[in-house]
Structure 1
Amino acid sequence: MSIYDLTGRRALVTGGAQGLGESYARALAGAGAKVAIADLQERGAEVASDLGEGHHFAELDVTDDASWQAAIESTVNAFGGLDIVINNAGLEITSLITDIDPADAKKMLDVNVLGTVLGLKHGLRAMRPGGAAEGGGTIINVASVAATIAFPGISVYSATKSAIDRLTRVAAMESGKLGYGVRVNCIFPGLVPNAMGAGLANDVSELGLFDSPEAAVAAVVDLTPSGRLGEEKDITDALMFLASDESRFVNGAALQVDGGMGM
């Protein structure tokens, strides 16, 4: 059972069909929120169904403005409102700077940066006074410890996650200045041993940056004062704090959830 009570809240989670996004969605539902899984993967509908009656699947291409409009509208129609938007969808393609494929760089910029920009745009428009779900709320953007460290092989990904921090702060200021009543924060997750984390360890090893995937993981742990990798629950608990009223005076913040790696 969650220590936070989100009964009656309505949430949309991008990239909620797998990984940390799915973990966020399950935690929100466990705290009493109605959750919309917003994803391109068909598994998103399965996750929404598995959460139980009253949850929702919204097909969403985070890089497409019209797709965002439709996903927000379907969520508001399904729930009668919207209180929480989690901009979680992200893409990481490992490469040495000297070998970057422009097409791969554009994909990461589109998904990670443009996707967050559009999530902010449509989340704020919906929750501000006069919007489809007026009444305020909270938006949480998912950055990464990659934004705060110089880890080899992930230059473009790191740049996109740094951009999310700046977007968060400006959006929080605009929301406040214009009286939208929407708090905007972001979290910086550390490396988690899920599919994405394992893929990164394999990739940097194949690039010759580390002797093996195990050596790559050991290097991350060595850089982390807490002395271990993160667990999905570590990250999810921090996100739940930002989604709840317990963080009511936290706005424009970047919460590092990385065991101290990026300090």
Structure 2
Amino acid sequence: MTETTSPHPAASQEFAGLKALVTGGASGIGRATAELLAARGARVAVLDLDPGDLDGGSRPLLGYRADVTDDASVRAGVTAATAALGGLDILVNNAGIGARGTVEDNDDDEWRRVLDVNVLGIVRTTRAALPHLRRGAEVGRSAAIVNTCSIAGTAGLPQRALYSASKGAVYSLTLAMAADHVREGVRVNCVTPGTVDTPWVGRLLDAADDPAAERAALEARQPTGRLVSADEVAAAIAYLASPLSGATTGTALAVDGGMQGLRLRPAGR
């Protein structure tokens, strides 16, 4: 019998030798993503306003302080991270903030603040990272960008006007970036999570008049009947970032418990 060898590396270590940078990587989806990429063989650096203590995960993570609303801060963070990693193959644009209310409920300053973080933060970080990603792609390395979007960018949700506008921009930006950079060997995709059980959602629930009822309502609007976990979103990001998905670009991958596409009848009917 002739032994055959798979043309692909083992899925559990498909990031071996690759270098990744995750913004907003000290907690929530970002932290879960950084740890998963590291566990699968990547060298990973995190940019965050407060990198904090990154010990205790599956693999060591490098942490750098950066404010995605400040171009100089972003460029310094990307420069330091890529120097320590020895290059860059994967960028995960995950840093973001939330907002509640209708179009009437937030003033101009809040609109500017959220758009500055959620949209221009991606612009600044990508702008700083692209030269490094291109260099890797030029010598045949896998280069990928994954943006964290949201179900709010593709579906109308109540009390989320500002947040939805920012994530709709992220969705469109992802498609435009994918078109701009595909011939440079840089793939660009995004994930569109539903409501994820993260510290930010926990703070929203704590601020509600009836946290238990609010959680039940958020769980009920997802067909699976539960919130999405940060690890589930991280797994989707890892798929899009992986060299095994080399034919995937300009794609939005829903991780929303069926919220976007399913229309279930009420239980018992």
What TM-score do you get using the length of structure 1 for normalisation?
0.87
The residue that corresponds to 1:197 in the other structure is 201
For residue 109 of structure 1, give the secondary structure of its aligned residue in structure 2: helix
**Unpaired segments ≥5 residues, structure 2:** 1-10, 262-269
Which of 30, 54, 65 is the aligned partner of 1:21? 30
The residue that corresponds to 1:182 in the other structure is 186
Which of 242, 245, 256 is the aligned partner of 2:243? 245
**Post-superposition CA distance 1:58-107 (Å, at most 9, x none):** 22111222222212211221111101101000011323432212222211
Q: Percent identity?
A: 38
Judge conservation of contact 1:4–1:241 (CA < 8 Å) in 2.
Answer: no
Residue range with higher mean Cα deviation, 247-256 or 140-149: 140-149
- The total of aligned residue pairs comes to 252
**Post-superposition CA distance 1:157-208 (Å, at most 9, x none):** 11101111111111011102xx3211000001111222211223345x45xx
Q: Distance in 1 between matches of 2:59 and 2:99?
A: 36
Distance 1:42 1:234, change over 3 A: closer
**Post-superposition CA distance 1:216-243 (Å, at most 9, x none):** 3333333222222111221111111111
Q: Does 1:225 align with 2:223?
A: yes
Q: Does 1:172 align with 2:208?
A: no
Q: Distance in 2 between matches of 1:137 and 1:219?
A: 39
Structure with greater Cα Rg: 2
Which of 9, 33, 44 is the aligned partner of 2:42? 33
The CA RMSD measured in Å over matched residues stands at 2.5
For residue 44 of structure 2, give the secondary structure of its aligned residue in structure 1: strand
Tell me how far 1:5 sits from its aligned partner.
Answer: 2.2
Q: Distance in 1 between matches of 2:59 and 2:158?
A: 44
Which structure 2 residues correspond to residues 78-157 of structure 1 after superposition, within 5 A?
78-129=84-135, 135=141, 137-157=143-163
In the alignment, residue 217 of structure 1 is paired with which amino acid? R
Q: Does 1:6 align with 2:15?
A: yes
Judge conservation of contact 1:6–1:32 (CA < 8 Å) in 2.
Answer: yes
Judge conservation of contact 2:90–2:133 (CA < 8 Å) in 1.
Answer: no
**Unpaired segments ≥5 residues, structure 1:** 207-211
In the alignment, residue 146 of structure 1 is paired with which amino acid? A
What TM-score do you get using the length of structure 2 for normalisation?
0.85
